[in-house]
Amino acid sequence: MGEKKTFNWRGWTTFVVTISFIVDTISGIILYIAPPGRIANWTNWTVWGLDKEEWGAIHTIFGYLLLIIIVLHLYYNWKIFINFLWDKIRKALNLRRELTAATMISVIVFFGSLWNLPPFGTIMDIGEAIKESWEESQVEVPIAHAELMRLEEFSALIRLPLEQTLSALTSKGFKVRSAQLTLGEIAKENDTSPDKLYQAIKSGGLKPTIPETIKGSGLGRKTLEMISSEKGISLEEAIKRLKQKGIDATPKDKLKEIASKQGKTPLEIFNIMKGDE
């Protein structure tokens, strides 16, 4: 009998790191081009059968796996790593120009990304443009994250009697166990999307009324300038109202960025712009 082979931990580590890197790269690209969450969740957007939330989980978990394996690898090979690093440092000292150039490009990339300077900011702008293209699609999201609302609550918000909403859904073959279930839960039980449920409600001859302040129009992704133009609000007055609330903003600032800095929601910032707060 031949000698029993021992488990090659170094080979195992190499495979795990490689696979984790590939999965993290692919999931990162998918999340880069994915639509905003409210559209992805409303339409059951998927890639290879996985939705945006699942891709986000995969990206995060494999990122942590990659980090853990690297830390373990360094822990068990610390002396080898230190000797290797010190040897590289000594060699690097003889490559001063190369070391300086590498340091400079790293600093430029870091601060260029931090300050959103071209061409680094262009990468993020391309991602934003891709996401905004989803906004221009024919998908109608009546209320942001309406899939998390109970059917009873959603029906009240769109100003329809619950009985009529239920009748419209059941007439299209959808089963609704309870009006206390969310649209997302009802859609899942019927193997469909919240968007299809909403279209069924509308096709039943009903006319939902969506209050302007809660429409899923992606306010957060728009600038003060864009919103003022679309909603007929004086840009100067909007900026003045924000200033009175201690919020400094420029016409090119996006609502979600202003809201994030102030610890508010985009809708709250929008209401201030309108003078409702």
- pLDDT for 144-203, tens place per residue? 778 888 899 889 888 889 999 999 999 999 999 999 999 999 999 999 999 999 999 888
| 188 plus 249 within the same structural domain | no
Question: Are residues 55 and 33 both part of a single domain?
Answer: yes
Domain count, the chain: 3
Q: Both tokens of residue 211?
A: 């209050």
At residue 12, the pLDDT reads 84
**Do 118 and 203 sit in the same domain of this protein?**
no
Whether 152 is in a domain gets the answer yes
Query: Rounded to two decimals, what is the model's pTM?
Result: 0.68
Check whether residue 101 and residue 25 sit in a common domain: yes
| 112 and 157 housed in the same domain | no
**CA 69/CA 62 separation, integer angstroms:** 10
Q: Does one domain contain both 124 and 162? A: no
- Out of 135, 160, 189, a domain closes at 135
Q: Same domain, yes or no, for 258 and 164?
A: no
Domain assignment present for residue 72? The answer is yes
Residue 2 belongs to a domain: no
Range of the domain at 266: 218-274
pLDDT of residue 124: 80
Q: Are residues 234 and 198 in the same domain?
A: no
Helix (H) or strand (E) holding 157: helix 151-157
Tell me whether residue 84 is in a domain.
yes
Do 58 and 175 belong to one domain? Answer: no
Reduced to 3 states (helix: H, G, I; strand: E, B; else coil), residue 47 is strand
Find the radius of gyration of the CA atoms of the chain: 26
Q: Of 111, 135, 159, which residue constitutes the final position of a domain?
A: 135
| 10-residue stretch averages of pLDDT, the chain, 277 residues long | 70 87 94 86 90 94 92 78 73 70 89 85 80 66 80 88 92 93 93 92 79 58 81 86 88 82 76 77
Q: d(Cα 235, Cα 250) in Å, to the nearest integer?
A: 10
What are the tokens at 252?
């090119």
- 276 Cβ contact list (under 8 Å, min separation 6): none
* 128 and 208 housed in the same domain: no
124 occurs within a structural domain: yes
Which pLDDT value is given to residue 95?
Answer: 65
Same-domain status, 30 and 56: yes
- Domain assignment present for residue 95? The answer is yes
Last residue of a domain, one of 90, 108, 135: 135
For residues 112 and 53, what is the distance between their CA atoms, to the nearest angstrom? 30
In this structure, the number of other CB atoms found within 10 A of the CB of residue 242 comes to: 19
Q: Is residue 128 part of a domain?
A: yes
* Closest among 232, 273, 215 to 262, alpha carbons compared: 273
Q: Is residue 268 part of a domain?
A: yes
Same domain, 67 and 97: yes
